[in-house]
Amino acid sequence: MLSLKSVSKRYKTGDLALKEVTLEIPEGQVMALIGPSGAGKSTLIRCINRLVDPTEGVITLDGEVISSLSARGLRKARRRMGMIFQEYALVERLTVMENVLSGRLGYVGFWRSWFRKYPAADVQEAFRLLDRVGLKHMADKRADELSGGQRQRVGIARALIQDPALLLVDEPTASLDPKTSRQIMRLICELCEERHLSAIINIHDVLLAQMFAKRVVGLQLGEIVYDGPPDGLGPDV
Ligand code: ADP
Ligand code: ADP
């Protein structure tokens, strides 16, 4: 379970991006985080994976206090957080299979095996995941040969092969057309359900959030202004 208690973030520029945000996400729950640009959605995700340090408050994941971990502890904790990005963050010159494997082996481990041989069990698991996201037949294609939707499927497989406890998903559909966006959101939510995974999906498209998430949290100027089922959102959000 993920918990945030009175988490605030003030950037050095003086911007108060989060104001005493308190949230709990039980195991297996998918939460969509919505709000206009500048509301603090990315900051919230970055406080959880500690790309930024919260100014105040406590963040715990399965009982471990994330917000005060040392660099070493943080490296371990991050292995339990799968990340999915807006611009996919694939290594363009590597194959689909290699991109997925890099999620399992980590950066150093990946290059070490690149010169020798990838562990067979990891390759097998990567194939299983590629099959699940509909890309098994493209394992040997280079990432730069794929469409946006296919790239995001690779990003999803790469996050899942880590076997994370939590998925942090930052605007996964912002670079995709509406139909592909729906497919990608559906895939992420289905996979979370299958694997009993918690997820925060940062998404500014309210309709997409309503379509797929059972819980929606609305942020505005760094504060939670809504937390509940998607159908409780007023027409003016
Ligand atoms: P958005 O979430 O609105 O699409 P991003 O968060 O992706 O924007 O912003 C892109 C980059 O610019 C990030 O590295 C972010 O930390 C940084 N950034 C955003 N707003 C500011 C700001 N006011 N001052 C300095 N850097 C900023
Ligand atoms: P969102 O993801 O909802 O668009 P952000 O978390 O990117 O919102 O931004 C929240 C606020 O924090 C904005 O006012 C933004 O300008 C500011 N901000 C974001 N990143 C930085 C940064 N690296 N340095 C300074 N201010 C930032």
pLDDT tens digits, 183-225: 999 999 999 999 999 999 999 899 999 999 999 999 999 999 9
The pLDDT score that the predictor gives to residue 109 is: 80
ipTM confidence score: 0.73
Report how far residue 27's alpha carbon sits from residue 19's, in angstroms, rounded to the nearest whole number: 25
Cβ(42) – ligand 1 distance below 6 Å: yes
37 CB near ligand 1 (under 6 Å): yes
Atom 20 of ligand 2 has which residue's CA nearest to it?
Answer: 43
- C-beta of 70 in contact with ligand 1 (< 6 A): no
| Alpha carbons within 13 A on the beta-carbon side of 61 | 25
State which ligand 1 atom lies nearest to the alpha carbon of 15. 23
Whole-number pLDDT of residue 105: 87
Q: What is the residue with the minimal CA distance to atom 6 of ligand 2?
A: 40
The answer to whether the CB of 43 is under 6 A from ligand 2 is yes
Nearest CA residue ID for atom 14, ligand 2: 38
CA–centroid distance, 13 to ligand 2, in Å, is 10
Strand ranges in the chain using DSSP code E only, listed in sequence order: 2-10, 16-25, 30-34, 56-61, 64-65, 81-84, 166-170, 198-202, 215-220, 223-228
Task: Convert the pLDDT of each residue in 164-192 to its tens digit.
Answer: 999 999 999 999 999 999 999 999 999 99
Render pLDDT for 92-142 as a digit per residue (tens, 0 to 9): 999 999 999 999 888 778 888 877 788 899 999 999 999 999 999 999 999
CA atoms within 13 A on the CB side of 159: 28
| C-alpha 140 – ligand 1 centre gap (Å) | 35
Using the predicted structure, report yes or no on whether residue 237 has a pLDDT greater than 60.
no
Give yes or no for residue 14 CB within 6 A of ligand 1: no
Q: Is the CB of 14 under 6 A from ligand 2?
A: no
Residues 182 and 186: their CA atoms lie apart, in Å, by: 6
Ligand 2: residue of 33, 37, 43, 55 to mutate (most ligand atoms within 8 A of CB) is 43
pLDDT at 33 over 60: yes
Of 142, 161, 162, 170, whose CA–CA distance to 51 is shortest? 170
Pocket lining: 13 vs ligand 1, CB cutoff 6 Å: yes
Q: What percent of the chain has pLDDT over 90?
A: 87
> What's the pTM?
0.89
60 forms beta bridges with 3, 65
